[in-house]
Amino acid sequence: MGASTATTDPPAGDVGPPGADGLPSRGTLRSRIRDLSGAGPLLAVDIGGTKMEAGIVTGDGRVLDRARIATPGSTDPEKLFDALSSVVSEIVERATEQPIACGVGCGGPMEFGGRTVSPLNIHGWRRFPLRARLAALVGVPVAVDNDAKALAVGEGWVGAARGCDDYLAMVVSTGIGGGLVLDGRLLDGSGGNAGHVGHVVVEPEGRPCACGGRGCLEAEVSGTAIAAVTGRPAAEASPDVRRLCGTLVGRAVASVASLLDLQLAVVAGSVALGFGDEFFDAATEELRLRCGLDFARPTRIEPGGLGADGPLIGAAAVALLRQDGAATGGSDDAGHESDPGVSVVQGPDMREDGR
């Protein structure tokens, strides 16, 4: 935004004129998610270590069709992309209406905006130029983000955080991921990795974590950790284990809520949702115990609202939020497409901070 724009209307979602209380309005997540409810469907892609899934999602957040394929164990990057291509092409060919944009949720880490991805659990992709390769395949703008951040946007779009502008969304499954929305903006951080709540320390002398630390939430509560400690799959965990996991999640949420002044923490993922009330009651109890500040005390912990559709709805939400950072079909596949800061598709209601 240069000075020359001063005479034009600010983009929707930008910090606007003072509200009734005289303070600048903050903008909302909903104002930043482009409303394409009538414009055509979205192609949504979720890429994980176990499966790759593609789907068609309507502009108002409903999954119309989906297909999945097991993620190949291959270390050949092209074999992995062939598998992804097959499932994406299958969905596009079946679609009765051509998708207008593509959003992707992928395991991290990645370069900002998914220019290249190096998912920890997909060993064949290291600095793989996912965004440009997909754009060349599908011929529509492609936006990529971390899968947990994608879920966070999806929960705010049509899930349990709908209408909320200050929240944490986390996934407790095989691992633990998270995404943060603050002041109606999805937080990125310097490298796009904001929200790694799995590495908040909840037991200072706890188990070693894959990150090199000790006692991280992920080292204590992930499905992998529970199986390692109990010798049984997380789905068979005892009530005591379910409550302990809830307590530790509540402890992590308490720190984040006090740090960031959150209204809500949405907790999704097979472990958390499978543990049910015992888990969520313990989490809320611990949150109450640990949050003493007046502003943090009302923070709530609620189960995710998107169920098995969460990853695809989240990916679609990324397409709506991130059109300014999307690669188009004209990009080459060597990672030379436009910088994320350069608008490929103009989206006046998208991110206005140039990232």
Report the interface residues with Zn ion, using CB under 5 A: 199, 209, 211, 213, 216
Q: How far is the CB of 179 from Zn ion (least distance, A)?
A: 17
Cβ within 8 Å of residue 13, ≥6 positions away: 27, 28, 31, 32, 184, 349, 350, 352
Residue 199 or residue 322: which is nearer to Zn ion going by CB?
Answer: 199
Q: How far is the CB of 138 from Zn ion (least distance, A)?
A: 35
Q: How far is the CB of 229 from Zn ion (least distance, A)?
A: 16
Residue 213 or residue 348: which is nearer to Zn ion going by CB?
Answer: 213
Residue 201 or residue 227: which is nearer to Zn ion going by CB?
Answer: 201
Give strand pairing partners of 117.
110, 128
Residue 211 or residue 235: which is nearer to Zn ion going by CB?
Answer: 211
Maximal C-alpha separation, the chain? 65
Residue 89 or residue 193: which is nearer to Zn ion going by CB?
Answer: 193
Write out the DSSP string of 19-75. Answer: -TTSSBP---HHHHS---TTT--EEEEEE-SSEEEEEEE-TTS-EEEEEEEEPP--S
Q: How far is the CB of 199 from Zn ion (least distance, A)?
A: 4
Give strand pairing partners of 302.
266
Rg of the chain on CA atoms, in Å: 20
Please list the alpha-helical segments (H only) found in the chain.
Answer: 29-32, 77-94, 130-138, 147-158, 217-221, 223-230, 239-260, 270-290, 310-321
* Interatomic CA distance for residues 28 and 259, integer angstroms: 20
Residue 113 or residue 195: which is nearer to Zn ion going by CB?
Answer: 195
Q: How far is the CB of 274 from Zn ion (least distance, A)?
A: 22
Q: How far is the CB of 248 from Zn ion (least distance, A)?
A: 13
Burial of residue 16 (CB within 10 Å: 0-12, 13-18, 19+) is: middle
Residue 66 or residue 199: which is nearer to Zn ion going by CB?
Answer: 199
Burial of residue 240 (CB within 10 Å: 0-12, 13-18, 19+) is: exposed
Q: How far is the CB of 167 from Zn ion (least distance, A)?
A: 22
